[in-house]
Structure 1
Amino acid sequence: MTEIRTPRLLLRRWNEDDLVPLSEINADPEVMRWIGDGSTLDLDRTAEEIERWEDEWDEEGFGPFAVELLASGELIGAVGLSVPEDLPEVMPAVDIRWRLGRQYWGQGYASEAAQATLEFALQDRGLDRVIAVHRAGNEDSENVIRKLGMVHERDIEDPEHGHLLQIHTIDLTEYEA
């Protein structure tokens, strides 16, 4: 089982106990406002999402991690890797993404988990390049991207929702520098 420990967090695969806490995160309009069309997800759609993520782990050897606080074991969100098949103009690519419950924002958890995930991608999984895709205007995600050392590559239009998306990249050479 793939697990990563950081000073404050455990990144791990998903289990059935994660469904309710993740569905509570997914039900928060502030959390979801920058994701897809901004719609919240109910319990059933959250279960489908976790199932997709676990399938990605089985097929690709990576996927979004469940992120929990080491001190309490509390699930705080998802951070991990995904193949952005819904964005054909960036393919082939692996995207790093994150989604934390609002009460965990501003405490450095997203950056801590994303940094561990980036290291996992480039050093453990042997990827040469990782991208980050975020909706223009999402300054909090842009701050995490900057902390990861990723650089802006280009802007594209979300083919499904029409939003302006910003694509940032980092490759193994830049990461090791």
Structure 2
Amino acid sequence: MTILQTSRLILRRWRDSDRRPFAEINADPRVMEFFPNLLTREQSDRAIDRIEASFTKHGFGLCAVEQLSSHEFLGFIGLSVPNFEAAFTPCVEIGWRLAAHAWGQGFATEGAKAIVAYAFETLKLASLVSFTAEQNMRSRRVMERIGMTFDTADSFDHPILPEGHLLRRHVLYRLRAPGVRQPVK
């Protein structure tokens, strides 16, 4: 089922045929550079199962992405609810993971902008967050391109990663729906 379509992308629910290419993406060291480890096929399949469960539970999730012209599976772009506690949770996160060969073509930004519009206009969410390891400049640039803002005071140590882990320090970006006022701190 198609959820959104842009000029070059289809964002949709997952199919069984997505499992193999998604596992290949999750086993690529370039794609997983800022994650604690590569995923096995079984871990990748469980991730899809969790994503689909999110659609059922929340009415949204991380959409499978395919290129409109070729129908090639490229990865995911969408929304999720983080499963850990932090100063900014509960919240809804916008995220993406695309095959390395799809990088540098604007797909993440294009799909993320469509997801932002969907989150605010259709789902009526008040705000979104996105976070990544401090070193992940590719994702940080996408966050900035879609209008998210970063405040160094929001940086945090990811609670799932152990003390001293190279990727533990994370940056948090925020985006509020148009017309939603930022609370006074």
TM-score, length-scaled by structure 2: 0.90
Cα offsets for 1:23-56 (capped at 9, x unmatched): 0101101101112x1x111211111000000000
For the 8 Å contact 1:87–1:158, the answer to whether it is kept is: no
Q: CA deviation at 1:92?
A: 1.6
Q: 2:173 is paired with a residue of what secondary structure?
A: strand
RMSD: 1.3
Tell me the distance in 2 between the aligned counterparts of 1:97 and 1:44.
21
Does 2:12 match 1:12?
yes
1:166 aligned residue: 171
1:171 is aligned with what amino acid?
A: R
Match for residue 101 of structure 2? 103
Instruction: State the identity %.
Output: 35
Aligned-partner Cα distance in 2 for 1:47–1:174 = 39
> In structure 2, how many angstroms separate the alpha carbons of the residues matched to 1:33 and 1:73?
26
Give the conservation status (yes or no) of the 8 Å contact 1:62–1:82. yes
Find the aligned partners of 1:41 and 1:47 in 2 and give their Cα distance: 9
Aligned pair count reads 173
1:78-157, aligned counterparts within 5 Å?
Answer: 78-153=76-151, 154-157=154-157
Distance of 1:78 and 1:10 partners within structure 2: 10
Structure number, greater radius of gyration = 2
Query: Structure 1 residues 58 and 49, CA, compared in 2 at 3 Å: closer, same or farther?
Result: same
Q: Secondary structure at the match of 1:78?
A: strand
The answer as to whether partners of 1:97 and 1:132 remain within 8 angstroms in 2 is yes
Is residue 8–residue 71 contact of structure 1 (8 Å, CA) maintained in 2? yes
For structure 1, list consecutive stretches of 5 or more residues without a partner in the other structure: none
Aligned equivalent of 2:57, options 56, 59, 67: 59
User: 1:141 aligns to what SS in structure 2?
Assistant: helix
Q: Determine helix, strand or coil for the equivalent of 1:167.
A: strand
| Alpha-carbon distance, 1:174 to partner | 6.5
Q: Which has the higher helix share?
A: 1
Alignment of 1:24-39 (within 5 A): 24-35=24-35, 37=36, 39=37
Per-residue CA deviation, residues 147-174 of structure 1 (Å, 9 max, x unaligned), is 1111114100011214111111111126
In structure 2, distance between residues paired with 1:118 and 1:130: 8
Structure 1 distance, partners of 2:40, 2:83, is 23
Further displaced range: 110-119 or 158-167? 158-167
**2:4 partner amino acid:** I
Give how far 1:91 is off: 0.9
CA–CA separation in structure 1 for the residues paired with 2:67 and 2:40: 23
